[in-house]
Amino acid sequence: MGFSLFNFGSRDLAIDLGTCNTLIYARGRGIVIDEPSIVALENVDGVPTVRAIGDEALPMLGRTPVGLRTVRPLRSGVIADLDVAEQMLKHFINKALGPRSRLPGKLEVTIAIPSGSTNVERHAIRDAASNAGANEIHFVEEPLAAAIGADLPVDDPFGSMVCDIGGGTTEVGVISLLGLAYSRSVRVGGDKMDEAVMAMVRRTHNLQIGETTAERVKREIGSARVPADGRGLSLTVKGLDMERGVPKEIEITEAEVVRALADPVGQIVSAVRTALEHTAPEISADIIESGITLTGGSSLLRHLDAVIAEETGLPVNIAERPLECVVLGAGQVLEERVGRGVLQAA
Ligand code: ADP
Ligand code: MG
């Protein structure tokens, strides 16, 4: 087993640098970091300076005084703000290593990257990891890592389909014999859902709500399917009355949220359908049997699994630990429970 004394000094890390959450798996220790990919920046003499990262920056989201702002450096699935992303990665790596960061020797990191990422994006991530102290860097494609973490039979000559629905992107992958037979990444996920909720509330209630509130609405009463009674659950939210410029409280219904989410949900469904259309017949036959496995935080949107099942006619199930699948999968490679053939040179 991995949790031996021998591995105590191990500095091998697997990293899921997500648009919403960063997770790090340390060889022999399991998941050691699970924090939001958020950085709070303060303007010091006109220079943006990091004030807080991850868990410490979260409460500041949408509540920053003048001169302080929070950013999500990976927002759209790529490194949007290189310098900040690098500082965030460095912080998480050091935190993951703890006292081991002062040990000599090599620091090997395996980073899960979106399957659609360009060479420029890959270089940016590699440079960030290297500046954070890593001297051996590998990549593993996200859908493959997600499939390994979801315990799919990735090394069999049998096709499996995984759909990882995160904050910034949705990645669909068809896996067979430890490789991706097909993959597709679309820039739609939880963020687009939150934006849709904000826009709906603004349009129909003349109320401006923050991102954090929109996300709460989505999680608490959001759904991919119209409620049976046409109205469903409801939730009271606070925001800014856009006409009078004062704080106001309104009630939002599930049915309204479902309508607002129809567009991002439709885009996710069509990404899955496109993947199915591009899958070789033999593999399609396997998927009819094995179905589609959902991972990523947004797979938890209520009834999204049922809607994907209806729209594709295939069995759909959500992985056991959807938010952790990618990092657990990359960790399995570190622990050598899966062949290193899945790794790519950075
Ligand atoms: P990423 O890999 O892009 O960092 P994650 O897989 O960590 O993304 O998922 C984060 C997304 O999942 C966020 O948009 C969040 O709002 C969404 N999410 C988490 N839990 C739920 C839930 N119960 N219902 C709907 N969305 C959820
Ligand atoms: Mg992810």
Domains of the chain by start residue, with CATH: 1-36+77-141+324-346 (3.30.420.40), 38-71 (no CATH), 145-188+263-323 (3.30.420.40), 190-261 (3.90.640.10)
Place of tokens 């429970």: 337
In this structure, the residues whose C-beta lies within 6 A of any atom of ligand 1 are 18-21, 166-168, 190-191, 215, 218-219, 296-298, 300-301, 323
Distance from the CA of 18 to the center of ligand 2, in angstroms?
5
Of 116, 113, 44, 45, nearest to 85 (Cα)? Answer: 113
Cα of 213 vs centre of ligand 1, distance in Å, is: 14
Ligand 1 binding pocket mutation candidate from 298, 321, 324, 325 (most atoms within 8 A of CB): 298
Ligand 1, atom nearest to 302 Cα: 24
How many angstroms is it from 315 CA to the middle of ligand 1?
A: 22
Whether pTM exceeds 0.85: yes
Ligand 1 atom with minimal separation from the 165 CA: 6
**DSSP assignment of 59-126, as one string?**
GGTT-PPTTEEEE-TTTTSS-SSHHHHHHHHHHHHHHHHGGGGGS-S--EEEEEE-TT--HHHHHHHH
Q: How much distance in Å is there from the Cα of 29 to the middle of ligand 1?
A: 25
**Token code pair at residue 34:** 């699970």
Query: pLDDT tens digits, residue range 170-205?
Result: 999 999 988 899 999 999 999 999 999 999 999 999
Q: How far apart are CA 289 and CA 53, in angstroms?
A: 44
**Closest residue by CA, ligand 1 atom 19:** 297
Q: What is the amino acid identity at position 175? A: I
Ligand 1 centroid to Cα of residue 346, in Å, is: 27
The helix-helix angle for 142-149 and 325-334 (nearest 10°) equals 90
Joined tokens for residue 4: 């031996």
Atom of ligand 1 nearest to the CA of 323: 6
> Which residue type, as a one-letter code, is found at position 325?
C
pLDDT by residue, tens only, the chain of 346 residues: 444 545 556 789 999 999 999 999 999 999 999 999 999 999 888 888 999 999 999 888 877 777 788 899 887 545 557 889 899 999 999 999 988 887 778 899 999 998 878 888 899 889 989 988 899 999 999 999 999 999 999 988 999 999 999 999 999 999 998 889 999 999 999 999 999 999 999 999 999 999 999 999 999 999 999 999 988 999 999 999 999 999 999 999 999 999 999 999 999 999 999 999 999 999 999 999 999 999 999 999 999 999 999 999 999 999 999 999 999 999 999 998 888 888 888 8
